[in-house]
């Protein structure tokens, strides 16, 4: 019984050992793939796009055209005139001037025409012109804009600049500071002008240079307030108003280029005005005549040659006749001047801070 039991125990021990060893060995055997296909992660492949070559043909570089030198046929010297298309005689004279200046300098020169100052000034400010003829108020405006430099001024009726005179009826009792025999002004200008304080002037028209802006500027500088002016719109009408009295106390007209008292209308109809009206005070020539200005962009050596050519043109009657016809104003001579020639006019009107835009582009001076 003991032996049998012992044998039985040994048998179970052996079986148990076999089972344990089998388990150990089974755990060491690699796991076999199952028939069920497990989900696999497909790696993302980054495909780098190769840029497609631009098939548009590269434009060939173009050469920038070189501007022709100033004064040549492709880039002539340009002279500006205010002339309408109906005045063919004046345009022909302007063309003759361009031809003559071209002959004297060797430069190609052309004349260009504009119907008014607004269009002319636009061309000047846009650097489309090299030379241009300007009235004094036009020059002051364009010079302030840095677009014009005076080169020559014209002589008209014997002077290169004219003045203004203050006139009144003798019965008004103003004290004259002017000698009609010598044509000279004497005494203190302030005393002469301050007589008009609180009185009413007869002037020509709003924004007229000798008949409004300059007189008011002179009175302003002399601290002489006056009543609102009466505008007569002609010098003859102003003389008549002073002659009959009751309309205004004094009047202002041009001076040094004539005398409104000597007009045929006054001499024929109211000759007594010659004795009844007197000049109280008169300025020197402070208002320059029409000038020839140049664009500051024009080279200095070209300016010099053009100035000499125009001065040469102004030495004979033919050249002066061309300019007189082209400008519709008698030109007796030309004078080379600097910008300081305009300082007396500036001193007369600049203290009032004139609105040049309003003066030039709403009324004609």
For residues 275 and 294, state if they share a domain. Answer: no
pLDDT at 354: 93
Asked if 291 and 153 count as a contact pair (C-beta separation under 8 A), the reply is: yes
Give per-residue pLDDT as tens, 188-218.
999 999 999 999 999 999 989 999 999 999 9
Mean pLDDT throughout 307-313? Answer: 98
For residues 246 and 329, state if they share a domain. Answer: no
For residues 278 and 241, state if they share a domain. Answer: yes
pLDDT at 30: 45
Mean pLDDT throughout 303-311? Answer: 98
Domain total in the chain: 2
Cα separations (Å) of 345 from 152, 161, 166, 321? 17, 10, 17, 28
- Whether the per-residue pLDDT at 270 is higher than 70: the answer is yes
For residues 170 and 259, state if they share a domain. Answer: yes
d(CA 151, CA 132): 10
For residues 282 and 167, state if they share a domain. Answer: yes
Instruction: Name the burial class of residue 300, with classes exposed (0-12), middle (13-18) and buried (19+) by CB atoms within 10 angstroms of its CB.
Output: exposed
pLDDT at 59: 61
For residues 185 and 259, state if they share a domain. Answer: yes
- How would residue 41 be classed by pLDDT, with cut points 50, 70 and 90? very low
Angle 208-254-358 from CA coordinates, rounded to 5°:
10
**Domain-located, residue 322:** yes
Mean pLDDT taken over the chain: 87
For residues 89 and 187, state if they share a domain. Answer: no
- Residue 22 or 119, more confident: 119
Give per-residue pLDDT as tens, 60-115.
666 666 789 999 999 999 999 999 878 899 999 999 999 999 999 999 999 999 99
For residues 165 and 266, state if they share a domain. Answer: yes
- Whether the per-residue pLDDT at 6 is higher than 80: the answer is no
For residues 100 and 137, state if they share a domain. Answer: yes
**Domain-located, residue 22:** no
Domain range enclosing 218? 161-287
- Tokens, residue 32: 């076999």
Question: Where among 287, 309, 330 does a domain terminate?
Answer: 287
Cα separations (Å) of 14 from 8, 19, 20, 24, 27? 10, 9, 10, 15, 20
- Whether the per-residue pLDDT at 47 is higher than 80: the answer is no
Q: Which residue do the tokens 């055209």 mark? A: 65
Asked if 202 and 232 count as a contact pair (C-beta separation under 8 A), the reply is: yes
**Domain-located, residue 55:** no
Mean pLDDT throughout 330-339? Answer: 98
pLDDT at 66: 78
**Domain-located, residue 362:** no
Other Cβ atoms less than 10 A from the Cβ of 133: the count is 23
**Domain-located, residue 151:** yes
Nearest CA-CA partner of 270 in 241, 234, 229, 250: 241
- How would residue 8 be classed by pLDDT, with cut points 50, 70 and 90? very low
- Whether the per-residue pLDDT at 158 is higher than 80: the answer is yes
Q: Which residue do the tokens 């007796």 mark? A: 332
């Amino acid at each position: 019984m003991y032996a049998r039991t012992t044998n039985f125990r040994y048998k179970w021990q052996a079986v148990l050992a076999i089972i344990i060893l089998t388990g150990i060995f089974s755990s060491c055997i690699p796991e076999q793939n199952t028939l069920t296909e497990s989900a696999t992660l497909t790696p993302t492949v980054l495909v780098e796009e190769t840029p497609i070559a631009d098939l548009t043909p590269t434009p060939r570089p173009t050469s920038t055209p070189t501007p022709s030198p100033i004064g040549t046929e492709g880039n002539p010297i340009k002279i500006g005139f205010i002339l309408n298309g109906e005045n063919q005689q004046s345009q022909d004279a302007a063309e003759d001037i361009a031809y003559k200046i071209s002959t004297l300098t060797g430069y190609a020169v052309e004349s260009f025409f504009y119907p008014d100052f607004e269009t002319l000034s636009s061309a000047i400010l846009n650097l489309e012109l090299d030379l241009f003829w300007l009235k004094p108020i036009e020059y002051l405006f364009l010079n302030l804009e840095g677009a014009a430099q005076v080169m020559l001024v014209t002589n008209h009726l014997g002077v290169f600049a004219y003045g203004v005179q203050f006139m009144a009826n003798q019965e008004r009792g103003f004290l004259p500071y002017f000698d009609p025999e010598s044509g000279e002004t004497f005494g203190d200008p302030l005393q002469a002008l301050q007589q008009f304080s609180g009185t009413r002037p007869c002037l020509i028209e709003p924004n007229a240079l000798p008949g409004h802006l300059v007189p008011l500027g002179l009175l302003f500088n002399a601290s002489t307030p006056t009543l609102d002016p009466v505008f007569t719109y002609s010098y003859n009408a102003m003389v008549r108003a002073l002659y009959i009295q009751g309309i205004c106390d004094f009047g202002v007209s041009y001076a040094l280029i004539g005398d409104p008292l000597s007009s045929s209308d006054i001499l024929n109809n109211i000759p007594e005005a010659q004795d009844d009206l007197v000049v109280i005070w008169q300025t020197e020539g402070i208002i320059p005549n029409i000038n020839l200005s140049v664009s500051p962009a024009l080279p200095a050596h070209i300016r010099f040659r053009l100035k000499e050519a125009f001065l040469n043109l102004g030495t004979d009657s033919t050249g002066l006749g061309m300019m007189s016809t082209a400008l519709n104003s008698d030109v007796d001579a030309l004078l080379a001047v600097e910008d300081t020639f305009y300082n007396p006019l500036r001193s007369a009107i600049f203290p009032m801070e004139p609105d040049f835009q309003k003066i030039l582009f709403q009324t004609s001076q």
